[in-house]
Structure 1
Amino acid sequence: MNWFRPLQKSILLLLIGWLVTASSLLAQQPTTVPDTIRQSLPQLEQQFVERNFQLLAQRYQLDIADAAITQAGLRPNPNLWFQGNLYNPNTKRVLPFGRPSQADMNAGVYNSGYYAVQLQQVILLAGKRSKLVALAESNKSLTRLAFRDIMRTLHYQLYTTYANLYYDIQALRLFDEELGRQQRLVESYRIALRSGGVAPYEITRLEVAIRDLQANSANYRTQIADDQATLRVLLRQPAGTFILPTELPPLKTTLPALATALDSAQTNRPDIGLSQEQINNAQRNVALEKSRRTPDLTTGVLFEKYGNAYNNFTGFQLAMDLPVRNRNQGAIRSAETTLKSVTGGLENQQVVVQSDVLNAYDKLNTYYEQYNDRPEGYVDRIQNISVEATKAYNARTIGLLDYLDKIRTYQQAQLNNINLMNNLFNTQQLVNFTTNTRFF
């Protein structure tokens, strides 16, 4: 019977190998996730434009800026003033507005009938109204540029989050498949342990590998949860939905000329436009404050019944503050200082934009080099590592430790490839973001 035990052990190990292989094939069958919404990137982008709260709020700011332009163009309202006699102590009468008697008029006594009406209009001088309109139009331009900058930032966040989710799911599938494989292998070895077919340390070694896989899987699940949370906020999706990315645009492996990218950034970046418009806004504000040195003119017409040099007095009025002490000096100095400040801000922003573009180019070139240096057929050969290792282990030509080492190599190679593709896509989007031009 001594020959029977080695044969029994070989048959048991072959059975374990067959069970692991069959279970792996079954584990590769696709599973469905409840409340899953399959969305392409163009579909999400359309929802983003229609639903994003920050964009909607900024559009309201544009409407507010339009209303401010309308308000700035309105002229001051005229002022109507009326004065009458409330109580005449001579006649003991309240509101004596009746026509005086002929006897009183002949005697030059007017105990009733008196009232005065005055109509005044403020006229803005030194072009204040046109300067107010110009400043309001500049404020609208600032609001529009702020909207474009928010759109640029959120668009970049949408694209990179979508890509992160796409590749995080791929990495999770990789670790979940390997976790299922190792768990089934452990269960099979535990069965074999009862008959003495395997050593106890082999099970312990497999359990350690399972803990590593579980930790990696948990990390990617938390990253996916973060990605989903970000997309729910960007798209205002209900809490119970899971957005499943379908595909990414084809990878482009050519860079636009650096000079073209730098020119595009200087021309198209809304933050550059904001800095330029802030200078224009400050200049218009200086002009407005200087115009306020000139006081406004108040004109009016007065009609007075029975209370002036003669009975029906009609006069005109002109009024203006005398600019003796207050010539708006403080406001002018403040506006001029603001102009100096924003002028320096433009130069700084141009340097920041140039640095952003160069940084994005350096990163993308690094990933392009890594991508292009891969040997031909590299990705296919990665897949063969797992296949060949499983075949060799099932045939008992390699041991457990050698098998786990090959599987670990396969996992790391796959993960490196996933990370490289994710970094490539996100860095391409970074170039688009820093130039505000869709090169990719």
Structure 2
Amino acid sequence: MRIYIIGFLTFISTSLFAQDTLRLTIRQADSLFLKNNLQLLAERYQIDIAKSIEIQDKLWDNPNLSFELSAYNPSRGLFDVGRQGQKAVSIQQMITRAGKRNKQVALDVESTRKSEYQFFDLIRTLKFDLRQIFFETYFLNQTIRLLDTQIATLNTTVSAFEKEYNRNNISLKEVVRLKALLFQLTNDRADILFELSENQRDLKTYLNADLPVKPLVDSTDINRYQVKNYNPASLRDRAILSRTDLKIVQSSTKQAELNYTLQKALAVPNIQLGATYDQNSNYQSNYFGVSASVDLPFFNRNQGNIRAAKTNISYFKTEEKAKENSIGNEVDAALQKVTVAENAYKSVENHFTDQFELLNKGMYENFQKRNVTLLEFIDFIETYNESIKEFNRLQSDRIKVYEELNFVVGEELFN
């Protein structure tokens, strides 16, 4: 069973880490994400579509040209279109009133602006997810390194104890208990590899990469996340100014106001102007005339659309206020999380892992010399491994809450 599990884990580990890997710092990952992410590339097309609609609505209506030819004259035969025949030509042009076209273009411009805000909000959201996964992957890899070292050392210890058992120097109980500890460590490693496999899937998707991604993190990346004298009120104000999802709602309110103006303009009827030439069918030959037509707004004055547009303004203003309140609460909650995580991190001694590592090496040596009992050794190894795993998780969670604060404020606060 142990051979099967170790072989299975070796296969997974090889597939994840033994291939060529894409070694990236967080800055390089951000850059590659902005360049390659397919969701962002797709969203850019929405901006191009909105700009195309702007161009279309700026255009004037085309004039209408019509011809009429005499198909049959009983006294002169077919297609009597000569000097004494009949042909008529008319041309008409729609003239919009009340600035309808300019108002429609203004609405289109705001729609384009909203598409841009949606694009930047998508960047904000995906970048937040990418960074969380990036740092989580790094610290999980650190835990894997610990387990790899422990498993290798414990394998050597188990082999040595099996030899001692074969010489009848120790009991089978001690060998089996050590193998059980090795099995537990192997299972822990498998669980983390499963998490890393899912993280690799997401990282490769975000970066549109073919190779596995290996995060590179140094002390500078970790230390730049520091609590500063951020005033909650000032952070809330910055979030109100920076959050793109709020800007989307604000743009919707602006569009509702522009649409209300447009709907009122649409109540004003347009004028159709035209000119006509008629060769022989009018009261005199070679008749030239001009025409104008307009709808009479007796029944339909666009009342329903105007009322709906006005109500829509109230709806989006309420949404905007609700969003501002929500953002303030999100900033307060994120700041509290940062404080809790920072206090927890600082409560751990700076040399925690170094001291534990030295003690760990000494424990193995003393156990092999039989200066430490089996139960003391197993209890220490379990405590040591769990403590290092929790410390790595604490470091990962600390950076995650700082990134969450970045996310809810909508700015890069920790550069």
Shorter-chain TM-score above 0.5: yes
Matches within 5 A, 1:147-186: 147-186=119-158
Q: Note if 1:81 corresponds to 2:66.
A: yes
Instruction: Give structure 1 regions of 4+ aligned residues with deviation exceeding 6 angstroms.
Output: none
SS in 2 for 1:237: coil
Q: Note if 1:254 corresponds to 2:227.
A: yes
Cα root mean square deviation, aligned: 1.6
Give the equivalent residue in structure 2 for 1:35: 20
Give the equivalent residue in structure 1 for 2:196: 224
Segments of structure 1 that go 5 or more residues without pairing to the other structure are 1-30, 101-112
Give the equivalent residue in structure 1 for 2:53: 68
Give the equivalent residue in structure 1 for 2:171: 199
Q: How many pairs are equivalent?
A: 395
Q: Which stretch of structure 1 is more off in the superposition, 383-392 or 145-154?
A: 383-392
Q: Note if 1:277 corresponds to 2:251.
A: yes
Q: Which stretch of structure 1 is more off in the superposition, 373-382 or 430-439?
A: 373-382
Residue in structure 2 matching 1:49, options 34, 47, 58? 34
TM-score normalised according to structure 2 size: 0.91
Give the equivalent residue in structure 1 for 2:83: 99
Per-residue CA deviation, residues 268-296 of structure 1 (Å, 9 max, x unaligned), is 00111111111111000111111111111
Code of the aligned partner of 1:308 = N
Q: Is the 8 A contact 1:385 1:410 kept in 2?
A: no
Q: Note if 1:367 corresponds to 2:357.
A: no
Q: Is the 8 A contact 1:76 1:121 kept in 2?
A: yes
Q: Note if 1:120 corresponds to 2:92.
A: yes
Q: Is the 8 A contact 1:126 1:294 kept in 2?
A: yes
- The structure with more radius of gyration: 1
Segments of structure 2 that go 5 or more residues without pairing to the other structure are 1-15
Code of the aligned partner of 1:70 = I
SS in 2 for 1:250: helix
Residue in structure 1 matching 2:314, options 332, 336, 340? 340
Cα shift at 1:207: 2.2
Distance 1:402 1:422 in 2: 30
SS in 2 for 1:413: helix
Cα shift at 1:199: 0.9
Code of the aligned partner of 2:80 = P
Q: Note if 1:245 corresponds to 2:215.
A: yes
Distance 1:439 1:408 in 2: 38
Per-residue CA deviation, residues 238-274 of structure 1 (Å, 9 max, x unaligned), is 2xx1111111513233232322211110110011111
Q: Note if 1:234 corresponds to 2:218.
A: no
Code of the aligned partner of 1:254 = V
Q: Which stretch of structure 1 is more off in the superposition, 400-409 or 302-311?
A: 400-409
Residue in structure 1 matching 2:393, options 408, 419, 423? 419
Residue in structure 1 matching 2:271, options 294, 297, 304? 297
Residue in structure 2 matching 1:352, options 317, 326, 333? 326
SS in 1 for 2:61: coil
Residue in structure 2 matching 1:330, options 304, 310, 315? 304
Give the equivalent residue in structure 2 for 1:19: none
Q: Is the 8 A contact 1:385 1:407 kept in 2?
A: no
Q: Is the 8 A contact 2:271 2:292 kept in 1?
A: yes
Q: How high is the sequence identity, in percent, across the aligned residues?
A: 27
Distance 1:175 1:391 in 2: 18
